[in-house]
């Protein structure tokens, strides 16, 4: 962001201490130095230019004119006008934002021309008086913070309620708003009629700030949310080892609305963890069970997307390792929540309340503070260790431990035909590897040899998984989408096949 340039005016001899004190303060204060850059005429090096030409040029370039008016009027030119007076007039002519600070509680000792200048300024704007440098600093700080608020560069309310800079209503997708409305009415009985205009939906959800879309509106219904909020993307990674190591076998950066981010990240994880499928002995519906319950994965990801700190430059990261799933959420717990209290009943304290409301209305979240407790119970029922919570490098990190996959693969088949058996990922994976043991095959032939009438989504998931884990490889790797593409068994796949058969 371009710094806001402040031209500090005033008789140099009379205000030497105040000018240097203010400069040092602006350059040291953690908030103000992020936005402002002070200019003092006396710090300009010697140059072959007229002084009046130089300081008037700086007034033209500045964003804020800050004038100190005291007792002295200062040196006068041929027309009897001082530099301070010239600078004020030029700032006024150009319509610059002006801040005037008058030294002294009364005007008894003031030069007549300075008194006239003070009175002229008072007719145009609000002046502030000061007697000591500390009073001056306090007044300047308050005025500059007020300026930032006027320019909407500082916010007092939640981030999601603030308007999204440079965004307009044209940056929102009306179809996405309509889809939300239909889902909200179906899942929660949302009050608005399904024919409500998108603008009415936005107003009802408090997603407009003075008629402009808020950050929440862009994140929920934007055509391209990452155009305005770059770090709102979600990074998903799948590793073969228990530590972060390059190259990353499977790495996707997902973009879109918060709804799309959650759906894509959840699909990424669910397509790469094991799924056990039972038999139809007791029902026409085949029982299925993921190694990590889908509800746990979804809760972990939706919490990260909904409650993260969107002012952070970091993104939500979802990392799947052979032994665990980690979800990294930029931000910290909101007081009075602590890591310990997450394992006990606690209230819902959304970090982004305007984002949380539409997620609740579409049943992505419950807003009851029960999410972590539900995950703990679901993990216990699935035979998993309780989720682990920790804070590190400004992130809230959730870890879900996976089952020992080696023990799972070596487990004996149950005697009862009604018990669940691992046939989707373990058995189908083994059958695909076995087909490729003797010959290189395209997807269509693999599907036919498996007895499928068409290439199923289940087979595509398995092939993508085997590719990402380097168990199989393309015969034409430089052209993944070639119509002549086939798969062949990699050396790692031969070892995998031996273990499965063993």
CA 454 to chain centroid, in Å, comes to 41
**β-bridge partners, 421:** 277
What are the CB-based long-range contacts (under 8 Å, 24+) for 271-274? 271/461, 271/464, 271/465, 272/238, 272/320, 272/465, 272/468, 273/297, 273/320, 273/325, 273/402, 274/405, 274/408, 274/422, 274/425, 274/426
Residues 334, 351 contacting (CB under 8 angstroms): yes
Give Cα separations from 96 to 26, 59, 175 (angstroms): 20, 9, 43
Give Cα separations from 241 to 249, 252, 270 (angstroms): 10, 18, 18
pTM of the model: 0.59
Residues 487, 471 contacting (CB under 8 angstroms): no
Q: Where are the domain boundaries for CATH 3.40.50.450 in the chain?
A: 4-150
Six-digit token string for 172: 């929102």
User: What pLDDT, on a 0 to 100 scale, did the predictor assign at position 407?
Assistant: 43
User: What pLDDT, on a 0 to 100 scale, did the predictor assign at position 286?
Assistant: 55
Classify residue 425 as exposed, middle or buried by CB count within 10 Å of its CB (0-12, 13-18, 19+): buried
* 233-405: CATH number: 3.30.565.60
CATH of range 422-501; options 1.10.1740.10, 3.40.50.261, 1.10.10.10, 3.90.650.10: 1.10.10.10
DSSP symbol at 386: P
Among 401, 378, 469, 395, which Cα is nearest to 432's?
469
- The domain defined by 4-150 carries CATH number 3.40.50.450: yes
The helix (H) or strand (E) run that includes residue 371 is: helix 371-381
Which conformational region is residue 395 in: left (phi greater than 0), alpha (psi within -120 to 50 degrees), or beta? Answer: beta
Residues 298, 266 contacting (CB under 8 angstroms): yes
Residues 459, 500 contacting (CB under 8 angstroms): no
Give Cα separations from 346 to 48, 368, 378, 390 (angstroms): 70, 8, 18, 17
Q: What parts of the chain have a pLDDT lower than 70?
A: 1, 42-51, 155-157, 277-288, 367-369, 405-427, 500-502
Q: Strand, coil or helix: what is 374?
A: helix
Q: Which residue in this structure is represented by tokens 């990074």?
A: 235
User: What pLDDT, on a 0 to 100 scale, did the predictor assign at position 43?
Assistant: 65
Q: Where are the domain boundaries for CATH 1.10.10.10 in the chain?
A: 422-501
User: What pLDDT, on a 0 to 100 scale, did the predictor assign at position 156?
Assistant: 63
Whole-angstrom distance, CA of residue 145 vs CA of residue 153: 9
């Amino acid at each position: 962001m371009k710094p806001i340039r402040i031209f500090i005016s005033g008789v140099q001899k009379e205000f030497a201490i105040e000018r240097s004190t203010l400069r040092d303060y602006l350059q040291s204060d953690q908030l103000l130095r992020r936005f402002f850059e002070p200019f003092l005429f006396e710090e300009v090096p010697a140059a072959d230019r007229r002084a009046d030409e130089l300081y008037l040029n700086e007034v033209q370039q500045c964003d804020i004119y800050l004038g100190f008016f005291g007792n002295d009027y200062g040196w006068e030119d041929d027309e009897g006008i001082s530099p301070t007076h010239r600078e004020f007039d030029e700032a006024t002519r150009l319509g610059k934002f002006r801040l005037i600070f008058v030294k002294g509680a009364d005007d008894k000792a003031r030069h007549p021309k300075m008194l006239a200048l003070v009175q002229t300024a008072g007719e145009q704007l609000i002046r502030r008086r000061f007697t000591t440098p500390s009073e001056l600093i306090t007044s300047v700080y308050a005025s500059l913070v007020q300026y930032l608020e006027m320019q909407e560069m500082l916010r007092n309310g939640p981030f999601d309620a603030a308007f999204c800079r440079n965004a307009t209503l044209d940056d929102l997708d009306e179809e996405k708003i309509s889809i939300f409305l239909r889902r909200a009415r179906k899942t929660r009985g949302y009050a608005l009629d399904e024919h409500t205009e998108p603008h009415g939906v936005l107003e009802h959800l408090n997603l407009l700030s003075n008629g402009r879309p808020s950050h929440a509106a862009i994140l929920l219904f934007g055509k391209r949310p990452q155009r305005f909020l770059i770090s709102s993307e979600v990074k998903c990674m799948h590793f073969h080892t228990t530590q972060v190591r390059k190259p990353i076998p499977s790495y996707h950066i997902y973009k879109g609305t918060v709804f799309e981010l959650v759906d894509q990240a959840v699909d990424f994880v669910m397509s790469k963890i094991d799924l056990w499928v039972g038999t139809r002995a007791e029902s026409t519906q085949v029982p299925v069970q993921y190694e990590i319950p889908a509800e746990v994965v979804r809760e972990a990801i939706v919490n990260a997307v909904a409650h993260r700190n969107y002012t952070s430059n970091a993104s939500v990261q979802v990392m799947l390792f052979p032994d665990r799933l980690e979800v990294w959420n930029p931000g910290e717990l909101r007081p009075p929540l602590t890591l310990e209290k997450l394992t006990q009943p606690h209230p819902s304290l959304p970090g982004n309340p305007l984002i949380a409301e539409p997620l609740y209305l579409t049943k992505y979240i419950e807003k009851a503070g029960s999410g972590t407790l539900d995950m703990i119970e679901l993990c216990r029922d699935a035979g998993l260790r309780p989720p682990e919570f920790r804070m590190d490098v400004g992130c809230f990190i959730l870890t879900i431990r996976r089952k020992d996959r080696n023990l799972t693969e070596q487990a004996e088949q149950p005697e009862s035909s009604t018990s669940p058996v691992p046939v989707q990922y373990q058995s189908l994976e083994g059958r695909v590897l076995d087909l490729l043991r003797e010959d290189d095959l395209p997807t269509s032939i693999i599907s036919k040899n498996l007895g499928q009438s068409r290439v199923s989504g289940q087979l595509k998931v398995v092939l993508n998984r085997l590719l990402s884990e380097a168990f199989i490889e393309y015969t034409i790797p430089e052209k993944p989408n070639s119509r002549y593409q086939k798969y062949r068994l990699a050396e790692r796949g031969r070892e995998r096949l031996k273990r499965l058969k063993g």
